Amino acid sequence: MKITAVEAIPFAIPYTKALHFASGEVHTAEHVLVRVTTDDGVVGVAEAPPRPFTYGETQAGIVAIIESIFAPQVEGLTLLEREKAHSRLGRTVGNPTAKAAIDMAIWDALGKTLDLPVSDLLGGFTDRMRVSHMLGFDEPAAMVAEAEKMVETYGIGTFKVKVGRRPVRLDTAVVRALRERFGDTIELYVDGNRGWTAAESLKAMREMADLDLLFAEELNPADDVLGRRWLVQQLDLPVIADESVPTAADVTREILAGSATAVSIKTARTGFTTSRRIHHLAEGLGVEVVIGNQIDGQIGTACAVAFGSAYELTSRRAGELSNFLDMSDDLLSEPLQISGGQLVVPSGPGLGIEIDENRLQHYRLDNK
């Protein structure tokens, strides 16, 4: 079970349409496949999605930090020394998705070695999750049409609507159009990606007060300390902290300071080891948790559903598990399938997924 190699393989797969939101836009999934190999010949995998406008990471940066810093720190450890690996990776500031991918690849390799699913190793609460689909910026009619497709084709009944544009009515009109089209047959919540001021956020939320929203997520910037506290005091629905809580310590700060009342856990950002810490902390604090999406491909989505299904708290709400549907292709031999509004955890040891080597060779950028 000793780790003998850690690889970082850059690849690029176009999206079928650009994804637009307040903090940026994405046209191509320029991600990094991370592979951890052991002396037994077991290979664990995970996916690191760079989000330079959120965490400052780039695809080239992720490859460089893994090859030059992180790989030498974890090679030689066993798969059971996950806390030691976590500690060594933690010596380096930042680079959350690079660290998370290594952590999850180690867990995948451990599950394969023990012939057990990662979801069972983590907790094994259930084998599936309801799916929430993210709707990016567009005109109301186009966003309603996309939601209709998701309902009719995949049975999805929960939607996260990206907001944060100016004037705020550009977004409030979309949310109202969705509610008018579907009535109470769907769940709706909004995510501002830090795009509005506190005052704009309150104006928008008041315009949508009659639309029965589940949550409001990261409406204004994390460094607007007083504005965030003031906003939370004005609202009567859970306010999710996302980009502002990349660590368990950040969760503690935001919740205890009154700047948020719920938390988004993204395994692409915190892996399985840190995500467990955040889950247990949130459970102890009595706050709601949503499994978020880092615009993951199918590999990252398999990680997210493995973690989310492992616990009662994280499986209670629909998880953001469908953004891979916007990719023109992926790297898995057996694609993930959403049916009846649910995603079932892939069966088999580890994450239950296998990489299609032909697809990897086609999309990888390092020509190895």
Q: Is 61 exposed, middle or buried (CB count within 10 Å of its CB: 0-12, 13-18, 19+)?
A: middle
Is there a catalytic annotation at residue 120?
A: no
Q: Is 353 exposed, middle or buried (CB count within 10 Å of its CB: 0-12, 13-18, 19+)?
A: buried
Residue 345 Cα to chain centre, angstroms? 16
Residues 99, 112, 160, 266: which is the catalytic one?
Answer: 266
Residues 59, 73, 294, 342: which is the catalytic one?
Answer: 294
Is there a catalytic annotation at residue 266?
A: yes
Is there a catalytic annotation at residue 73?
A: no
Residue 51 Cα to chain centre, angstroms? 12
How would you write 136-190 as a 3-class SS string? Answer: CCCCHHHHHHHHHHHHHHHCCCEEEEECCCCCCHHHHHHHHHHHHHHHHHCEEEE
Count of other CB atoms within 10 angstroms of residue 56: 12
- CA pair distance 342, 131, nearest whole angstrom: 5
Residue 130 makes CB contacts below 8 A (sequence gap 6+) with 157, 158, 317, 318, 319, 341, 342
**Closest to 244 in 3D by CA, of 230, 235, 258:** 258
Residues 7, 47, 162, 326: which is the catalytic one?
Answer: 162
Q: Identify the helix (H) or strand (E) that includes residue 288.
A: strand 288-291
Residue 233 makes CB contacts below 8 A (sequence gap 6+) with 258
For 77, the token pair is 């450890």
- CA pair distance 271, 104, nearest whole angstrom: 6
Amino acid identity of residue 31, one-letter, is: H
Amino acid identity of residue 360, one-letter, is: L
Is there a catalytic annotation at residue 191?
A: yes
Residues 7, 217, 254, 330: which is the catalytic one?
Answer: 217
Is there a catalytic annotation at residue 162?
A: yes
Is there a catalytic annotation at residue 108?
A: no
Residues 191, 243, 254, 326: which is the catalytic one?
Answer: 191
Could you tell me how many residues make up the chain? Answer: 368
Residues 146, 171, 224, 242: which is the catalytic one?
Answer: 242
What are the catalytic residues? 162, 191, 217, 242, 266, 294
